[in-house]
Every structure is written in structure tokens, then in C-alpha cells.
Amino acid sequence: MDISRFPRTPLAHLPTPLEPMPALSKLLGGPSLYVKRDDCTGLAMGGNKSRKLEFSLGDALDKGADLVITSGATQSNHVRQTAAACAKLGLVFRCVIASPLEHSPADYGRTGNVLLDRLFGAEINVASDTDEATARAVKSLVEDARRTGRRAYIVPLGASDAIGSLGYVDCAAELLAQCESMGLEPSHIIVATGSAGTHAGLLTGLRLLGSQAQVVGIAISGTSTAKEERVRSVVSGLIELLQADRDLISRDDVRVLDRYVGAGYAMPARSTILALRLLARTEGILLDPVYTGKALDGLIDLMRRRELPNARDVIFLHTGGSPALFAYADEFDRTAEMPAETCSG
């Protein structure tokens, strides 16, 4: 598997650690749990987008871009890391953000990721929360760039096209090498599935390298059907880009669960907050309420229900996101007196 022919610019601290979670494993009654710490990629407090942006912005630089445009939700981890990467690379960065919440806390649009976006010099444009409004705003920014003679490069939502997802094809090789050195045989890898590039890239990389570890996606919004189709779409683009065998990944290889979505995107269920608190108090690791908290909620529930058949070494892919914690203080206040052990199931 050679992806060296694709333009790439170094942004992330790699390899990220693969660590055991003995206290959580014991609490849940096994099997052994490990966490792949992609919250430790370094750029802008870390996260999974750093790996993707190495390829997305590598492509942008290769094409002579001097301006990068992207979009995301108000507390977008993707926007935060793209803003930092552009600052590092000397690229002008403009973004469109939209609140996914009908009623948001007073500081939701000022703290967390938004505060960091501004520190990195992002030019922020706010749109109403519709895909159409966001698309119109992005189109307007592109037209403005054209009028002013700039070379604009659009990074899609979550950098989750085939180019960006190469970051997780590469991560699969890194992860398998770590497992080999630690004597692990991963049976399942749990990941939050949103725009699906991380899930699709990881699954494609694993299969290209001969691993049959099952990637289980935990939907952070929408339905299983929609997310699985999104994963398959990105996988298809990757296979074309890599000129790989179209039968590399079967339909059954793509698995996403939607039982942990709660009320929707950026709206954590009580069990999400409790799962997040449980990991903080057992392993000293911070998650976020939008992505990784829901993914851990799913992992805990799957283990308690014994729904990971023939599980051996189970890996939780930590995709970052902890800066968003500060925008959700009210959620933690509401669960302050609830025992963490009541989360999931």
C-alpha cells in the first residue's frame, strides 16, 4: 500500500499513542480495551482532522491555492483544525459555520472551538442551519475569491472526500504496526461516524493490509442507513483513487449503529455525558459531547450487552474534540449528581 505519490504536508504529531484502558476494561468485565489517541495529533489541541488535512492541504498547496474555504457546525472540530493548519501554512482561511441547535447556551457561539477559530485568524461567516444556506455562503466566498484574484481551495465538510480520507488509510498502517509490536490482535475498532471519512479511510486501509478487524461506526446524527451509504460512497472514491480492487470491501463490512444519536447532532443524551464522565474518572481521558462521547456510550453499551462477538482486543479510536466541552457546561451541571456507572444500556 503506497500512498506516497499523493501530495502531503506535515501537520500532525505521528504516530499517536495506542494505550490500554485497564480500569474501564475491568469495570465492564472485559475484553481488553485500548484507545488510539488521535486526540494527541498536536495541531490545535489535536483531533482526527489533522491526519486528513495533511492530504487535503497538501493537495491545495500542490494546486497553488492561497485561500482555503470550508464549512461546519458552530463548534466544529474540523473548522478549528483547518484554521490552525492554514495559519501554520500561511494560507488565508475563510469558513462558514451554522448552529445545529435551535436553542443554544449563551456562550455557545463564543467559547470552545469558536474562540480558537478566532485566535487562529479565521474569517468566520455565519449561516442559518440549512445545507442550502451553507452551500450558498460557500459559493459566495468562492465567487469573491475569484473576483479578487485569489486561488481558492474548498475543503469539504470534515475533509471527508477521498483525498482527505487518505489520512486514515495511513492511520490503519500505523495502528496495525503498533498492534503487532504490542502483541495485539484487534477484533473490533469503534469509531464515531459523522461525515464518514475517518471510518471509510480506516476500513479501506485495514482491508488493503489484509486485516479483517471489524470497524463499528457509532452514528453521531442521522440513521444507520444514511451513514452506511455515506461510508460506502467515500470508500468507493478511495478505491478509485487508489486503483484498488472494487471487491475489496463488501457491503457487510460497513456497519454503523444509530442507537446513541440522542436527539440529534450536537445534542448529547444523558448517557453520552455519563459515558464521558466515566472515562475521565477511570482513565483520566477527556472526550467530547458531540462525537467521541457518543462513540464511547456505544462501546460501553455493546460490551454490556455482549454484542461484540468473539471480541479479543477492542480499540476505541479517539478522534479528539475536547475543546467543545467548554460550550456544554450546562449539560454537565444537569448530570452532576448522577452516578457515572448508570451510563449506557
Annotated catalytic, 76? yes
Nearest to 74 by CA among 121, 131, 142, 125: 125
Distance, CA of 243 to CA of 285 (rounded, Å): 39
Neighbours of 150 (CB within 10 A): 16
Residue 9 CA to residue 57 CA, distance in Å, equals 7
Q: Amino acid identity of 100?
A: P
User: CA-CA distance, 179 to 156, in Å (whole number)?
Assistant: 32
CA distances from 90 to 70, 84, 86, 106, 152 (A): 16, 10, 6, 33, 14
What values do phi and psi take at 190, rounded to 5?
A: -100, 130
- Other CB atoms closer than 10 Å to residue 29's CB: what's the count? 9
Catalytic residue among 76, 160, 221, 271: 76
Residue 50, number of CB atoms within 10 A of its CB: 27
How far apart, in whole angstroms, are the C-alpha atoms of residue 269 and residue 287?
A: 14
Looking at the annotation, which residues are catalytic? 76
